[in-house]
Amino acid sequence: MLLFIFLFLLLSSNIHTALSAHCTTVTATKTFQKCMTLPSQQASIAWTFHSHNATLDLVFFGTFISPSGWVGWGINPASSEMTGTRALIAFKDPNSGQIVLLPYILDPTVKLQKNPLLSRPLDISLLSTSATFYGGKTATVHNGATIQIYATLKLLPNKTKINHVWNRGLYVQGYSPTIHPTTSNDLSSHATIDVQSGLAMAQHDNIKTLKIVHGIINAISWGLILPIGAVTARYLRHIQALGPAWFYAHAGMQLFALFLGTVGFAIGIRLGEQSPGVEYGLHRKLGFAAFCLGGLQTLALLFRPKTTNKFRKYWKSYHHFVGYSCVVLGVVNVFQGFEIMGASRSYAKLGYCLGLSTLIGVSIALEVNSWVIFFRKANEERLRRERLTDKYDKGSGSHS
């Protein structure tokens, strides 16, 4: 039931995000023919394509995330990625306090962050540019303020598929925008749109779907089923009435979790192949570590000594250490995944936390109960020995 609740919350949170976004073709100064909601940062774009002279009029709608931040939009002539983008970036002028819109070329050195990003003319046919606040001249830069970036450009003949790239950052040093946040939402801010048909290419939607499936499968397998299997082995094996049933339940859940986790792991590898330049170092390392430990646990079943074997205790120590390490890494990586997907305050994370908290609460209750039983049995054993000792002492006295 907890798994279904978590799945419902994750899907509903993504549906809510999709429904909350919208686009418009009307601004205070222009009316455009088409518009589209962009897949991240609640951004959108509207445009009019003049096919007779291959001219494109457009406006980009973005939001600031800091009073001292920046918002940028651009096109990449070569591919749908940040490197190589010809960008227009809007921010507050440090001298006048007015909004400025400057051109920047995002070459490969931008990712290295060795030098400040400096404004320079663009090498594309840009006919005009401007930027205005959604609230007009009286509006100010603040967290959530909407900026409109206007541009008119001349396209190449029969070139209607445009690679759009956009983003936003927290700070500007002088006239040099600093690096933007690196969550999944920020790193996926690009889309290829056919300005003539108004259709977006499907690659981004496929990647987003894979991310959701990857998150659901791994949260359920590594984050819930695997810990439940560990709890089953720790607290049910002492119940004599169950016999060997606890072992089959434990092994079945762990093997099922590993199977699902392998599927989620493979999807993660596929996502990495489809997202060149996007790297999540810690998430990837934790994922590889958890997957390797899970594989070692499975192989350990093939070399499980009998209970009478002298090496059994060493095998049990290894099995416990690797198993609990795998559980901890899996749970930590699930939370890391929520951060990457920009869902740190989502209903999906709330549902997962509720499920995990319930499991932890049950584990604490069972742990306390097991210690109570242990001390009770120890006390009964002590009383039994005392009675035997007294009986032996009385028997020795009467014999004397």
Q: What is the tens place of the pLDDT at every residue in 77-111?
A: 888 788 889 999 999 988 888 889 999 998 877 77
Does residue 342 or residue 164 have the better pLDDT?
164
Span 37-46, average pLDDT: 89
Tokens of 244: 């060997």
**Do the beta carbons of residue 149 and residue 134 sit within 8 Å?**
no
The pLDDT of residue 20: 41
Return d(Cα 339, Cα 341) in angstroms, integer. 6
pTM of the complete model beyond 0.75:
no
Identity of the highest mean pLDDT range in 28-32, 85-89, 234-238, 347-351:
85-89
CB 256 within 8 A of CB 288: no
From CA 149, how far away is CA 246, in angstroms rounded? 63
| pLDDT greater than 90 at residue 281 | no
Question: Rounded to whole angstroms, how far apart are CA atoms 65 and 75?
Answer: 22
pLDDT of residue 15: 42
Query: Can you point out the beta strands (E) in the chain?
Result: 34-37, 44-50, 55-63, 70-75, 85-92, 99-106, 126-133, 146-154, 161-169, 172-173, 176-177, 190-194, 199-200
Q: Minimum mean pLDDT among 59-63, 105-109, 140-144: which range? A: 140-144
Reported confidence tier of residue 145, pLDDT bands at 50, 70, 90? confident
pLDDT in tens, 308-323: 888 888 888 999 999 9
Question: Would you kindly state where each structural domain of the chain is located, as residue ranges?
Answer: 34-201, 205-387
- Residue 338 makes CB contacts below 8 A (sequence gap 6+) with 215, 344, 346, 348, 349, 352
Length of the chain: 400
Name which of 297, 305, 291 is nearest 321 in CA terms: 297
Q: How far apart are alpha carbons 397 and 358 in whole angstroms?
A: 58
- Rounded distance, CA 170 to CA 180, Å? 7
Q: Find where tokens 């932890």 sit.
A: 360
What is the pLDDT at residue 7? 53
Q: Which CATH architecture has domain 205-387?
A: Up-down Bundle (1.20)
Considering the four listed CATH numbers 2.60.40, 1.20.950, 3.40.1350, 2.30.29, the one that applies to the domain covering 34-201 is: 2.60.40
